[in-house]
Amino acid sequence: MGYSLERVSDGAGDAGPMSLLLKMKSDGTVVTEDGKPKVGFHVRVGAPYTRSYEARDYWTTTVVQEILEEAEGYVKFRTRNSVYVWRAR
């Protein structure tokens, strides 16, 4: 399965086989989960391995603040800075 992440304002983002959620705990450890965007987590989409030295390997958002829309394989969400669309392909 593949995933895509696109910033609504300018189309920036990435696509690949990885959709990883990350959350920093108060003790400094990082919690990770596979899956679709959730409030309180950063979203990282792309490749879990190096693709090339010329292209980024993944795109990571700031923390998800709000889920705006959700359907099968689709989530539109707001971070502190932007609005994104996440898709499972």
Which of the four pLDDT bands, split at 50, 70 and 90, describes residue 55? low
User: Residue 78, SS3?
Assistant: strand
- Taking the model in full, what pTM does it have? 0.89
- Which distant-in-sequence residues (6+ apart) come within 8 Å of 14 by Cβ? 4, 5, 45, 46, 56, 58, 59
pLDDT at 47 over 90: no
Report the 3 state secondary structure along 8-53: CCCCCEEEECEEEEEEECCCCCEEEEECCCCCCCEEEEECCCCCCC
